Structure 1
Amino acid sequence: MIGLGRFGSALALELMADGVEVLGVDVNSDNVQALDGHITYVVRADATKEDVLRSLSVHEFSRVVVAIGSDIQSSILATSLLIKFGVEQIWAKAVSSQHGEILRQLGVRHVVFPESDMGRRVAHLVRFSMEDFIEVGDDFVLVKDRVPAVAVGKSLDELHLRRRFGVYITAVKRCDEPWQIAFPDTVLKPDDYVLVAGRKREAEAFTQLAREN
């Protein structure tokens, strides 16, 4: 993990929670001290220097995240070194469309835009008052929301959701029970939550029926 600001540190801690060993690198001593003892190994170092990265054996890693956001030049230099090393999988944080374009031109396949992606996501939550919203591709989304009244008491097979609304219900959650895969014979109840998949406009329109309950 190169860059241990808010994004990098949160990602590093989540990976640790999932049992992944993490090497964290940052030039800021405060960021390094904040994670000392919380991730596998953390070091204060300049990730734009090839000899520094080699001394940390970064060139031997198969997966590296460049989470530098405050210094675009450092982000690009560090990423260039990883590509030079032949690192198989690189994730890089971009703070602007221009930054992201440069990273893609370098050959980075996984470019992430944490701030703008979250902004778009929250905009949909605010506008439509849905429980959760995730874009998974061009014009395709997953939406978590309450069951619309039109679907209560009916099985998914009876509802003909694809034909009538252009969406699918992929999973159902009941009260304190865990999420369950939805099947054609699944009958929806008033207090259920559902995971709706479909194109953005159709999914949003379908979940708005829940507001009419």
Structure 2
Amino acid sequence: MLNQKKEFVVIGLGRFGSSLCMELTDIGIEVVAIDKDPEKVGEFSSIVSHAVELDAVDEEGLNSVGIRNFDCVVVSIGEDIQASILITLILKEMGIKQVWVKARNHYHQKVLEKIGADRIIHPERDMARRIAHHIGNDKVTDYIEISKSYSIVEIMASDKLAGKTLGELDAFDKYHCKIVAIKKNEDDVSVMPSLNTRIDLNDILVTIGKNKNLDKFEEERV
């Protein structure tokens, strides 16, 4: 049986929603974009699979686009917190399995958690953290938070690491971090490398662990 393509709905075509639609489309995911602004809908009609002019607080309107048939619905309305909360509540009551919501602030997040949002997104905060990690340590090339306590960090190998094997580095026992991939360049990526893998200068080490352990690893080994 062939794998079916994933299908997403994005509600709200502001800066975040627009960017998300374009990125999802670029990687081959079917996207239905919903917004009540006819100009934004017209702009995206040739970009996404289907663009719909609709006020998403209208449950009948959501039913008319077959909202229950999609893998995930992303509510990307950031400015109108009341609408964001109401739409999230409607979607959960309709039985949508995955509802991801952009939160404007901590209080918005707390309400979304209480009404059952499956994932809460803070694009500005997350980008700020990634930039802060990069500024704080120029060997950190990327940073992705996967929970409040765990992250994935891409670290460029310095002189301290060059020439060592992963076994000699012993990141798991010493720092409780796991190096899950080594990137030599865009076309040479070793996933789940063995302990015998030797680290070269400027290799990118894709490392996962608790934030406090990653900080210690960066401080002592990078």
2:215 is matched with which residue?
204
2:101 is matched with which residue?
92
1: CA distance, partners of 2:186 / 2:126: 30
Deviations 1:18-75 (A, max 9, x none): 2222111101223212212100110211111122222222244342111111211111
Deviation at 1:153, TM superposition (A): 1.4
Q: Does structure 2 conserve the Cα–Cα contact (< 8 Å) formed by 1:175 and 1:191?
A: no
Deviation at 1:189, TM superposition (A): 1.2
From the superposition, tell whether residues 192 and 53 of structure 1 become closer, same or farther in structure 2 (CA, over 3 Å): same
* Amino acid across the alignment from 1:135: E
Q: Does structure 2 conserve the Cα–Cα contact (< 8 Å) formed by 1:140 and 1:200?
A: yes
Task: Select which of 27, 30, 33 maps to 2:42.
Answer: 33
Deviation at 1:176, TM superposition (A): 4.9
The percentage of counterpart residues that share the same residue type is 32
2:190 is matched with which residue?
180
Q: Does structure 2 conserve the Cα–Cα contact (< 8 Å) formed by 1:132 and 1:144?
A: yes
Between the two proteins, the alignment pairs up a number of residues equal to: 211
Indicate the larger mover: 137-146 or 96-105. Answer: 137-146
- Unpaired runs of 5+ residues, structure 2, are 1-9
1:171 is matched with which residue?
181
CA RMSD, Structure 1 to Structure 2 (Å) = 2.0
Task: Select which of 107, 115, 125 maps to 1:106.
Answer: 115
2:112 aligned with 1:127: no
Give the TM-score taking structure 2 as reference length: 0.85
Give the TM-score taking structure 1 as reference length: 0.89
2: CA distance, partners of 1:73 / 1:103: 11
* Amino acid across the alignment from 1:35: F
1:160 is matched with which residue?
170
* Amino acid across the alignment from 1:91: W
Deviation at 1:165, TM superposition (A): 4.0
Between Structure 1 and Structure 2, which shows a larger proportion of helix residues? 1
2:4 is matched with which residue?
none
